[in-house]
Amino acid sequence: MVEARLYSFVPLMRAAEISSLRARSAAIGAFNVNFYAQAEGILEGLKKAEAPGIIQASKGANKFQGGAGKIQEMLLLAIMKGRYNIPIALHLDHGDANSARDCIDNGFSSVMIDASHLPELENIAATKEIVLYAHPRRVGVEAEYGLLSGVEEDIAHQKGVYADPKFVPVFFDRSKTDALAIAYGTSHGPNKGKTEALNVDIVRESYEALKAHRMNLDRFLVSHGSSTVPAELVDEINRYGGSLKETSGVPEHKLLEAIDSGIRKINIDTDLRLGITATFRKYFHDHPDI
């Protein structure tokens, strides 16, 4: 029986950074789950890719499963049953102070505190408070700087606000967070707007600032809202009764450019939801007796 162990996301991103410095640019995929079969599918995909990965659960997913502890048990069971021996982290996505502490107490190996709606200094203070709780328990912490457009559960920003690359090392230094999701033009949901909004120079300049301060082996940049929103999935959803309109995602070449520029964690949620929705809609169409 494979020992079910969860890793902090810090060594996973550090391995990606070392790879990027030595040979090939790399980032760790972070995939949101809401139920057991979804976790199985993601783990199987990671196994086929021979890649480590980050499984993420939002506050809503934790509530849906009956608590953060249930999510942790669900993932450990999927790891043991599938005999997966690849490094896996369990991460809270877009948490607040209460949900972050709850996840730390219930076996998550990393958490995100999203205080990006606050002024910068308040954001830093809120982040540092969670860092002080998490780090003694060997749990990694992610924060967010800048504002992404779109909707992520109960968090909605109609207009994005870019991160300032010069302030990124300051945020890391003052908050002591391990990872920082920086706003560079991506957005949540299936309507990501125009590709022109993506400013990968923000990523590149932020990463160069981290290297200049010798932070890049311990502090890592994250890309939120990074689903590609495949047209074929949207078409299948609409073919079987859906009504998705004006969808758009982040082009794959832009994600690769962001990774080349210093991103070490890529968040994917919408693409998984689209795949599940397309599958269910077609199945119900083909089996009207269900």
Q: Closest Cα partner for 142 from 179, 168, 105, 175?
A: 179
* Host domain of residue 76: 9-286
Model pLDDT for residues 22-42, shown as the tens digit of each residue:
989 999 999 999 999 999 999
- What CATH number should be reported for the domain holding residue 115? 3.20.20.70
Predicted TM-score (pTM) of the model is 0.91
Q: Which of 93, 96, 102, 178 is catalytic?
A: 93
246 in any annotated domain: yes
What per-residue string of b and e applies to 215-254 under the rule 16 or more CB within 10 Å gives b?
bbeebbbbbbbbbbbbeebbebbeebebeeeebbbbeeeb
Mean of the pLDDT values across residues 228-247? 94
136 in any annotated domain: yes
Model pLDDT for residues 215-237, shown as the tens digit of each residue:
999 999 999 988 999 999 999 99
Type of residue found at 23: A
Q: Closest Cα partner for 246 from 206, 286, 190?
A: 190
93 is catalytic: yes
Question: Given this model, what pLDDT does residue 188 score?
Answer: 63
4 in any annotated domain: no
104 in any annotated domain: yes
208 in any annotated domain: yes
2 in any annotated domain: no
3 in any annotated domain: no
